[in-house]
Amino acid sequence: MQIPDTAFTHGGKFHADDVFSAALLKICNPNIAIQRGFAVPQGFAGLVFDIGDGPFDHHAKNSPVRENGVPYAAFGLLWRELGPQLVGPVDAGRFDESFVQPLDLDDNTGCGNQLANIIAAYNPRWDGEDRPDDCFAQAVALAQDMLAHKLEAIRSVQRAAAEVNEALGRMKRRIVRLSRFAPWKQQLIPSKARFVVYPSQRGGWAAQAVPASFGSPALKVPFPAHWAGASEQELPGLSGIETLRFCHAGRFLVTAGTEEDAVAACEAAMELNG
C-alpha cells in the first residue's frame, strides 16, 4: 500500500487509536502531513482514518471485527494493511494480538488501558490554553517513538533467528549455549530446550529456564526452590557450584562466574526436578 503525503482524521479530543494511526502513517511515510477537523474536506485526495466511514474508519454499522471477537478500530485497520509489509505476516499477527488489539478494544468499549490513558493525558486541560492540534502532535511524536522501537525490537528478534537456531542445533542435554545474548524465545520455547546459557551483560554468565509456552509464567524446568533469592555468599554452599552468584526469586534466572558453572546450575535443576 502506497501512503500518500496527506491524511485526515477527526479533530477535538484525541485517543490512542487516532494517535497511533498517525504514528504508523508517519513511520511509513515521514513526509505525510496529517490534518484534523470535524468533516472530511470535499474532494480530499489523501488518506482518511477514524472518520468518514471509509476503509480505515470503524464507526459505521457492521464495522469489521476480528475472528476472536475484538472489534477493529482505525489503528487495527491500518495495521492489518501495513503491518505485514513492515514485519511480515506472522509477526504482524503477533503484534496485533499483543499491542494493537488492547488499544482497539479500549477505543471501541472504553474498557480501560494504561497506554491509552497515557495518550489521553496529552489532551489539553479543560482550563488550559494549549491548542488541540499542538497537543495531538506531541502525542503522535511520543507514539511514533514507541512504535518505532517496538518494530525494531521485532526485527531484532527476526535477525536473531538464524543464530539461535544454529545454537539449538548444537544443543546438548537440553541446554543451548549462545556465544552472545540474542533474543531466543521464538525459537526455544517450541523446541526441546529446557535452558539457555549466554554471557551476562553484567559480567560472567547467565542461564535462563525456557518457558513452557508463550505468554505463560510456567517454566519447563525451574531452578531449585532452595536457591531462590539466596545471597551470593549462601549460593555456593547451597548448590555446590563454586561461582554461582544469583538465583532469581522467580526461579527462571541464575548467574555464575563461568560458563561451566552456569551449565552446571542447569544440570542440577534438571536432576532435582527429575
- SS3 sequence of the chain: CCCCCEEEEECCCCCHHHHHHHHHHHHHCCCCEEEEECCCCCCCCCEECCCCCCCCCCCCCCCCECCCCCECCHHHHHHHHHHHHHHCHHHHHHHHHHHHHHHHHHHHHCCCCHHHHHHHCCCCCCCCCCCHHHHHHHHHHHHHHHHHHHHHHHHHHHHHHHHHHHHHHCCECCEEECCCCCCCHHHHCCCCCCEEEEECCCCCEEEEECECCCCCCCECCCCCHHHCCCCCCCHHHHHCCCCEEEECCCCCEEEECCHHHHHHHHHHHHHHCC
Each domain of the chain, given as residue ranges in start order, spans 6-157, 170-272
- For 124, phi then psi, to 5°, come to -60, 145
Q: How confident is the model at residue 1 (pLDDT cuts 50, 70, 90)?
A: confident
Report the percentage of the chain scoring pLDDT > 70.
100
Q: What is the pLDDT of residue 60?
A: 87
What's the pLDDT tens digit per position in 195-247? 999 999 999 999 999 999 998 999 999 999 999 999 999 999 999 999 999 99
What integer pLDDT is reported at residue 273 of this predicted model? Answer: 85
CA–CA distance, 57 with 49 (Å, rounded to integer): 5
pLDDT tens sequence across 56-101: 999 988 899 999 999 999 999 999 999 999 999 999 999 999 999 9
pLDDT score of 274: 63
Per-residue pLDDT, averaged over 49-61, amounts to: 94
